[in-house]
Amino acid sequence: MAELLNKKEVRKEAKELLKQGVCKQQVFKTLVEKYKYSIEIANILTYLPSQKAIKKYGIWNYVLLGVICLTALFFLFNSPNISAILWFGLLIYGVITMRINYYIWVSILSFFLITIFVVHMFYNQGGNNYSLSLILILISNIISLILSIWLEFKLCPKPKEEKVQYTNSEGEQKYKMTYQFKD
């Protein structure tokens, strides 16, 4: 029955309502009245930031974007290859458009790069010739790891789920799931 819901259409309508400054809880209520699929609508709204969150944390999103761009430029100048272009291009697109599900990939890539650079530093202990660029790229990846995880929770906090008991038309006690979004 859930396959009757056009998620693309619902996501587009939710984005429009959020751009108008409507709070997430009101968008949820409006869309549930229209489409009747509360679980699917809650899942869609979970990954869309509200206008209030964008205003509050948008500057940090641009900081994350800058750090990712600097890391991408470093890799492109040192070893230009198509996989680096694709990975960083995809991550930059996700951060620019504030697609929260891309932030986990930013944190995974940052963690992977931090691990590689730390292992590289430990294996080259005798040389002690850590270049400034190696240290800067390590710091930028630490910043990008922290910011991506933090922004994921701040831009789109998970809704609070509650089971509410109600009596249906036949007099039976039933439970339904309700969602409370924080803005």
pLDDT digits (tens, 9 = 90+) for 84-109: 888 899 999 999 999 998 999 999 99
Query: What pLDDT band is residue 83 in, cutting at 50, 70 and 90?
Result: confident
Comparing 151 with 167, the larger pLDDT belongs to 151
Q: How far is 81 from 86, CA to CA, in rounded Å?
A: 9
Q: How far is 15 from 58, CA to CA, in rounded Å?
A: 16
95 CB-contact burial (10 Å; exposed 0-12 / middle 13-18 / buried 19+)? buried
pLDDT tens digits, 118-157? 887 777 765 555 677 778 888 999 999 999 999 999 998 8
Per-residue pLDDT for 114 more than 80?
yes
How many helices (H) and strands (E) are present in the chain, helices listed first?
7, 2
Q: Which residues contact 95 (CB under 8 A, 6 or more apart)?
A: 61, 64, 65, 68, 102, 103, 106
